[in-house]
Amino acid sequence: MRLLGGGLRALRRDYQLWIMIAPAIAVVLIFNYIPMYGIQLAFKDFDFTKGLTGGAWRGIDYFKQFMDSYLFTDLMRNTFLISLATIIVGFPAPIILALILNQIRRKRFKNVMQTTVYLPHFISIIVLVGMMNVLMSPETGVVGHLMKGLGLGHINLIASTNTFIPVYVLSDIWQHCGWNSIIYLAALSTVDPQLYDSAKIDGASRMKMIRYVDLPALVPTIIILFILSMGNILSTGFEKIFLMQNALNLPVSEVIATYVYKIGIVSNQFSYASAIGLFNTLINFVFLFAMNAASKKMSNTSLY
Amino acid sequence: MRKKVVGMITVMLAATTIMSACSSNSNSGGNNGGSNAGSNPTADSSAGSGGNSGKKVKLTAIMTKHALTKPLKDMEWLQQVEEKAGVEIDWQEITADWDQKKGTLLASGDVPDLFIGPNVITDADMAQFQGLFQDLSGMLDQLPNVQAMFDAKPETKIIAEQQDGKIYGLPKYQRYWPSTATRQYINQKWLDNLGLQMPTNWDELYDVLVAFKEKDANGNGDPNDEIPMDWPGGIGGYFNPAYMLGGEGITLTDGSPQGYFVEDGVVKNYLVDDRYKQLVVFLNKLYKAGLINPEVFTHDYTKYQSVARGEGDTAKVGFTMGWVASDRFGEQLAPQYTSMSPLKATPDSNVSWSYDYNSLNYGVNQLVVSAKSKNKDAVMRFINELYAPDMGMQVLFGSLGPNIKDNGDGSYSVLPPADSKMDPGTWKWTSTMADNGAFYIPDSLQLTLGKDMQEVLEQSKPIDAIQIDVDNDVFPTFLKYSSADNSTMGLNNTNVTNLANTNFAKWVTKGGVEEEWDSYVKESEKAGLKQNLEIMQKYYDEYKKQ
Amino acid sequence: MALKGLKGSELTFHIALYALCAVIFVIILYPLYFIVIASFSDSTLVSTGKVLFFPKGTSLFGYKEIFQDSRVWTGYRNTLFYTLFGTLVNMLFTMPAAYVLSRKEFKARRPIMFLFVVTMFFNGGLIPTYLLMKDLHITNTFWVFILPFCVNIFYLIIARTFFETALPAELYEAAVMDGCSHFMYFAKVALPLSKALISVIGLYYLVGHWNDFFTGLIYIRDNNLQPLQIVLRDILLSNQVFQNGAGTGGGAASGGYAQRYADQIKYGVIIVSSLPILMLYPFLQKYFEKGVMIGSVKG
């Protein structure tokens, strides 16, 4: 009774908040939650005549099939390595870029820089990969010429198993670093200018100001984005890897997403693809869960 | 009031139509025959006799067309077909990403009346989405023109029929295409410049390529800019060195993209065949000697094509494969190249080539009808008009008038492009559905082909001169498998080709095939190759028994 | 010059900073410059590496082909509408929700947040979603671009984090003392102080709509409703079609003209499709200037 009364009081107090969040909850329930019955497909046969989820129950057969499949270990290793490399190298890059851009005092120059770094984000992947093929051709590309000039010899960057991950990660940074730095720039804009002034009076160097004023302002955003990116540990992009694949780099470039696509295209393996997708999701979720718990303990920042 | 009267009349008309064609309608009755006559009487009213009642039946259709192809509503011949059939079709024209779209469309059951396109709905789709597509086998009396094709070319019926005799997809018969897609070209001018003989076997080819590399074959003063040999990359498929397996007596089918071929009635896969190992050893020898384009496994199709076009009069590539010289090397350089006779592995080996006639001339599942269509009679009328004997050439080459000339004596000629900058191939793809359409070109039709097709047929002559045993050495690619077998084979093939591609590229560029061969064969078999061969042999034997 | 009168350490910092910027600038800019010159150059020369610093074999062929295609213009019109209207709806749904979730006193915030986060990972797959859209009768209408998934959880979390950290608690307490309700506080205080955030999230949504081709691909049948990206993707993928075309034999006879068409168009398409959204950025940039927010509070 008291609980109910408390609830009512809270409702009366917070009714405006409820009104403000109701539309968001509604669209999430409708568009995200209603279709979730489709997850069953991972445990059932897809049988068109019996409706989407009317097929025979298969339990974890499709999961087993994936884990026993002959490419399983390769796929897992490749997927992990690629996304780990993307996180380790790719995650700090926009932070550093934002801090650098934030140091530029000349407004004109800063604007030009900012606009430039954000441009590559808009290049479609098909063109990006096509361009990489042209520029990195060992015989005719500008990178090929450059490497010859530096005495690095003939390395076919797009064909070697050793260079696939670096090329993938670095081109990713090239493309998205500027775009991803926007959020950090926005966070930096909230820093109170007085903090800089007082730091100056204390005789702090520019490096020190970055360390003690700018960086702390970014920490909450960094933590949240880091948790979220850990929740994507098994979700490499599909299209770019697919387009970058060739017979020579395939041993390191076949990942879960491209494999699912390949088996999907030969025959509509809806159940098998759902099972692999769900497997992927579960691992991602575990990572996110662990990161979030750790972050809550250490920095008191958490997603939910 | 007036509406009611019209309604009455249409219902009566519809009733007569149904009676006159009751044998066919009873077939579709199970699913939605009721709604067929009941809910859409106006639609059926024009079913009378070829739509002379004025009101056109609205249909929806999907066509997977080539990206260059102009809007379907601008095609004169298609307007005529729709007119004659008394239908008006709302076309959804798809040029990209069909595979992504298709899965969702089919699984949700949200399909149009009609699909047109090359294998637009695959046999696997038909097996999986039971009840979604219309069985046409009982409706052939409504499709006399299709029946005529089946009568004149019985093989078209064989490839259309499922194992149980049902027909879900109609094939096309294209008639004019050559018996192989791949032709090998060598630069005759380079041979002449260096005083060399046309190679006839692998060893001679090696010597010729070495000469191409070491000397200034194209005579531009730079002895290092020649690429002796090039292909689009990978193993298997058209325009690929797998074609050279013919020199060891293997007859490929459609370039055998996944390695399967038939030899004396036994289904095999060259990917685990010793003769393939010999080829890899040979290619590795070429690669080590610097005779193969170092970018062969990484260049994209654009670059592959561009390189062979050379610079002005200076050719860059010595030996390669392609569809036709003018396409492969450009108009300017094409005269320098000769189409070669298939090479022997050793001077005394048997020689064969890739037999692609069936897939180039008989496309399967070019037209599929939805079982849910509310206007099946109208759909049938449209199909029948589309397969009319004088319509086929227009579907393939374009409308009478701008694309085809009527010579007045019962014969026709394909016209050159109206835009002189355009090549005939592009012109064809721009003007009409072309190879992606569904049509029948009777063997009796007198049609003079365009310059491009004449060139293809001319350059196929050295290959056609070599006999192959089509009955026992060619794999019937149109076999229909059960849904379960299909998906098993699909999964296995993904794994097997993955393994094959990776190893092929590695062995050619770095060597090591001799040492790794045995374990590779074992691994391939484990990845599903053995299982697939068993399945395919079973179906092949059944097919042979018929 | 501005560098004059700087202390030693400050000077080193400046030199290092500008040198670093110059390097970044060149690395980022060269490939972009390459796209521009490639869009004017002969495609054969481009793919064989002859075009490095200056356009060669210049022609406007690619652009002519793009702009001759009437679908491009319809696509532009549609995309503009989807982008503007869609972003408006996005913001109306996202910002209030983000504000609510940032309020510590809102008891339900953790379960609701969890409910939202789950959807970032689990989804029912394409087919059930398609069926839902079909049942709601929004397939093949413009609504399918606007309503579904109009709350992006990722952006919601960013916005919430911003509200949590950037709005001082004292501000709200002071506002409540003045008799301010949540509605008033959100509209009159929180939003005006969050211009930087609004421009970032707005930009994210805008670009998301602008680049969205998947919705058009799956849910739209009518060519008159297709967004620009689908039209351009069709043009772009024609290049890939040739490779597959070669595989089906018939397509192999497509010929050189078609090949050139596809190649040169490739780079032009990028410029045509992204120019409008690129021009937007400088306008939003001023909101990222330092101290805009706090300064306005003080002012």
Pairwise CB contact (< 8 Å): A250 & B234? no
Q: Would an 8 Å CB–CB cutoff place A263 in contact with chain C?
A: no
Which tops the pLDDT comparison, C250 or B514?
Answer: B514
- pLDDT averaged over every residue in chain C: 80
Pairwise CB contact (< 8 Å): A190 & C165? yes
Q: Which residues of C touch B176 (CB under 8 A)?
A: none
Q: What is the number of alpha carbons within 13 Å of residue C298 lying toward its C-beta?
A: 8
Burial of A59 (0-12, 13-18, 19+ CB in 10 A): exposed
pLDDT confidence of A261, banded at 50, 70, 90? Answer: confident
Determine what percent of chain B falls in helix, strand and coil, rounding each to the nearest 5.
50, 15, 35
Structure tokens at A75: 């796929």
Angle (nearest 5°) at CA C33 between C27 and C35: 115
pLDDT confidence of A142, banded at 50, 70, 90? Answer: confident
Query: What is the ipTM metric for this complex?
Result: 0.81
Question: Model pTM?
Answer: 0.81
Nearest CB among B100, B107, B359 relative to C217 is that of B100
Interface of A with C in 25-44 (CB under 8 A): 25, 27-28, 30-39, 41
Pairwise CB contact (< 8 Å): B303 & A269? no
The residues that bridge with B340 in the sheet, in sequence order, are: none
Pairwise CB contact (< 8 Å): B125 & A268? yes
The alpha carbons of chain A give a radius of gyration, in whole angstroms, of 25
Phi, psi of B185 (to 5 degrees): -120, 140
Q: Reduced to 3 states, what is the DSSP secondary structure of residue A207?
A: helix
Name subunits touching B (3+ CB pairs < 8 A). A, C
The residues that bridge with B7 in the sheet, in sequence order, are: none
CA-based nearest residue to C65, from C235, C254, C213, C223? C235
Interface of C with A in 48-67 (CB under 8 A): 48-50, 52
Mutate to test the interface with B, among A46, A246, A249, A272 (most CBs of B within 10 A): A246
Residue A276 C-alpha, separation from nearest chain C C-alpha, in angstroms: 12
- pLDDT averaged over every residue in chain A: 84
Cα A138 from Cα B301, distance rounded (Å): 17
CA-based nearest residue to B283, from B496, B511, B515, B520? B511
pLDDT confidence of C237, banded at 50, 70, 90? Answer: low
Q: Which residues of B touch C246 (CB under 8 A)?
A: 232, 238-239, 301, 323
Residue of chain B with shortest Cα separation from A244: B298
pLDDT confidence of A258, banded at 50, 70, 90? Answer: confident
Contacts of B367 (CB under 8 A, 6+ apart): B114, B115, B116, B120, B169, B170, B383, B386, B438
pLDDT confidence of C296, banded at 50, 70, 90? Answer: very low
Q: Which residues of B touch A41 (CB under 8 A)?
A: none
Pairwise CB contact (< 8 Å): A31 & C149? yes
Interface of C with A in 88-127 (CB under 8 A): 92-94, 96-97, 99-101, 103, 105-107, 110, 112-117, 119-125, 127
The alpha carbons of chain C give a radius of gyration, in whole angstroms, of 25
Phi, psi of B78 (to 5 degrees): -70, -35
Phi, psi of A86 (to 5 degrees): -65, -40
Residue B368 contacts residue B129 (beta carbons within 8 Å) = no
Residue B202 contacts residue B343 (beta carbons within 8 Å) = yes
Cα B349 from Cα B202, distance rounded (Å): 11
Q: For residue range C87-124, what is the model confidence (pLDDT) as tens digits?
A: 999 999 999 999 999 988 888 888 999 999 889 888 88
Structure tokens at A244: 């970058």
Cα A181 to chain centroid distance, Å, stands at 14
Nearest CB among A102, A122, A190 relative to C274 is that of A122
Q: For residue range C20-66, what is the model confidence (pLDDT) as tens digits?
A: 899 998 888 888 888 888 888 877 777 777 788 888 878 787 788 77
The residues that bridge with A82 in the sheet, in sequence order, are: none
Cα C9 from Cα B407, distance rounded (Å): 89
Q: For residue range A188-231, what is the model confidence (pLDDT) as tens digits?
A: 877 777 888 888 888 878 888 888 888 888 888 898 888 888 88
Share of chain A above pLDDT 70, in %: 96
Q: Which residues of A touch C147 (CB under 8 A)?
A: 27, 31
Cα B198 from Cα B214, distance rounded (Å): 18
Cα C149 from Cα C158, distance rounded (Å): 16
What parts of chain B have a pLDDT lower than 70?
Answer: 1-54
Q: For residue range A43-58, what is the model confidence (pLDDT) as tens digits?
A: 988 888 887 778 888 8
Pairwise CB contact (< 8 Å): C237 & B331? no
Residue A159 C-alpha, separation from nearest chain B C-alpha, in angstroms: 6
Annotate chain C with DSSP letters as a single string: -TTTT--HHHHHHHHHHHHHHHHHHHHHHHHHHHHHHHHHS-HHHHHTT--SSS--S---HHHHHHHH-HHHHHHHHHHHHHHHHHHHHHHHHHHHHHHHHH-TT-TTHHHHHHHHHHHHH----HHHHHHHHHHTT-TTSTHHHHSTT-S-HHHHHHHHHHHHHHS-HHHHHHHHHTT--HHHIIIIIITGGGHHHHHHHHHHHHHHHHH--HHHHHH---GGG--HHHHHHHHHHHHHHHHHHHHTSGGGGG-HHHHHHHHHHHHHHHHHHHHHHHHHHHHHHGGGSTTHHHHHHH-
Residue C235 C-alpha, separation from nearest chain B C-alpha, in angstroms: 7
Nearest CB among C139, C242, C249 relative to B238 is that of C249
Nearest CB among A130, A254, A268 relative to B300 is that of A130
The residues that bridge with B60 in the sheet, in sequence order, are: B90
Q: In this predicted structure, what is the pLDDT of residue C239?
A: 54
Residue C247 C-alpha, separation from nearest chain B C-alpha, in angstroms: 6
Contacts of C141 (CB under 8 A, 6+ apart): C225
Q: What is the number of alpha carbons within 13 Å of residue A162 lying toward its C-beta?
A: 2
Cα C297 from Cα C299, distance rounded (Å): 5
Residue A41 contacts residue A53 (beta carbons within 8 Å) = yes
Nearest CB among C48, C217, C238 relative to B68 is that of C238
Residue A41 contacts residue A52 (beta carbons within 8 Å) = yes
Cα B90 from Cα B465, distance rounded (Å): 47
Residue B359 contacts residue B172 (beta carbons within 8 Å) = no
Total residues found in chain C within this entry: 299
Q: Which residue has the tokens 């190649």?
A: C263
Structure tokens at B268: 């095999």
Nearest CB among A247, A250, A263 relative to B490 is that of A263
Q: Which of A129-143, B228-242, C241-255 has the highest mean pLDDT?
A: B228-242
Pairwise CB contact (< 8 Å): A189 & C287? yes
Residue A162 C-alpha, separation from nearest chain C C-alpha, in angstroms: 23
Name subunits touching A (3+ CB pairs < 8 A). B, C
Q: Would an 8 Å CB–CB cutoff place C249 in contact with chain B?
A: yes
CA-based nearest residue to C49, from B230, A145, A158? A145
CA-based nearest residue to B431, from B391, B388, B397? B397
Which tops the pLDDT comparison, C232 or A251?
Answer: A251
